[in-house]
Amino acid sequence: MSPDFASKLLENAVSEFAKLPGIGRKTALRLVLHLLRQEPSVADSFGNAIIRLRHDIKYCHVCHNISDTETCALCADTTRDSSTICVVENVREVMAVEATGQFRGLYHVLGGVISPMDGIGPADLEIESLVERVAAGGVKEIILALSATMEGDTTNFYIFRKLAPYDVRISLIARGVSVGDELEYTDEITLGRSILNRTPFSDSFKG
């Protein structure tokens, strides 16, 4: 595709789209030409939704989840079990866990995992505020639901150490063979773990 667009406005819009992850210049051009074919109001509502989102969005002061209000809808929901906190990396994982319908407690969004390679240390994450939530009392269990990577494991261990002084149960989401996976293609570490952490057969009828 020619780098020489007939219009600077077009060039500009395509460049902005192409900055997004996974969007190349060809796709960017396709999307921009699509918007051009729509009514002006479509482009307005698209553009304004992005601008408003970035300016007006808040983060819940309790769990640091994305929110329109000071306290997010999940933390404000008194029907949820406030004695259980599920620790996740990002907003997206809150949605993923919520989508399962299996969890009725609250969340704590760390904002990432400890990763010295990327220059992310414990102080860059919402770990201190998690400790404060536990220290405030009323929390019985912390469920660590981070990625099953080295960085995730490091962060799990760091949090485990930080919470050791408190009377709180710390658990880890189960790791094992994914539902629908063929055993033959499961890596040996996952398979090994799933054998070590085997559950009573009758438990598989739950939920």
Report the distance separating Cα 164 and Cα 137, nearest Å.
Answer: 14
Residue 120 found at the interface with a copy of itself (CB under 8 A) = no
Q: What residues have CB less than 8 Å from 134, skipping those under 6 apart?
A: 85, 142, 163, 166, 168
Residue 12 found at the interface with a copy of itself (CB under 8 A) = yes
Residue 197 found at the interface with a copy of itself (CB under 8 A) = no
Residue 46 found at the interface with a copy of itself (CB under 8 A) = yes
We find the least distance from the C-beta atom of residue 3 to a copy of itself, in angstroms, to be 9
Residue 66 found at the interface with a copy of itself (CB under 8 A) = yes
Choose the binding region for a copy of itself from 57-65, 131-139, 182-190, 194-202 (rule: CB under 8 A). Answer: 57-65
Q: Which of 62, 64, 71, 73 binds a copy of itself (CB under 8 A)?
A: 73
Residue 87 found at the interface with a copy of itself (CB under 8 A) = no
Residue 202 found at the interface with a copy of itself (CB under 8 A) = no
Residue 43 found at the interface with a copy of itself (CB under 8 A) = yes
Residue 150 found at the interface with a copy of itself (CB under 8 A) = no
Nearer to a copy of itself (CB atom), residue 151 or residue 163:
151
Report the distance separating Cα 195 and Cα 188, nearest Å.
Answer: 10
Residue 40 found at the interface with a copy of itself (CB under 8 A) = yes
Q: Which of 61, 81, 83, 92 binds a copy of itself (CB under 8 A)?
A: 92
Tell me how long the chain is. 207
Residue 7 found at the interface with a copy of itself (CB under 8 A) = yes
Residue 52 found at the interface with a copy of itself (CB under 8 A) = yes
We find the least distance from the C-beta atom of residue 85 to a copy of itself, in angstroms, to be 16
DSSP output for the chain: --S--S-HHHHHHHHHHHTSTT--HHHHHHHHHHHHHS-HHHHHHHHHHHHHHHHH-EE-TTT--EESSSS-HHHH-TTSEEEEEEEESSHHHHHHHHHHT---EEEEE-SS--BGGGTB-GGGTTHHHHHHHHHTS---EEEE---SSHHHHHHHHHHHHHHTTSS-EEEE---SPPTT--GGGS-HHHHHHHHHT---GGGGG--
Choose the binding region for a copy of itself from 23-31, 152-160, 183-191, 196-204 (rule: CB under 8 A). Answer: 23-31
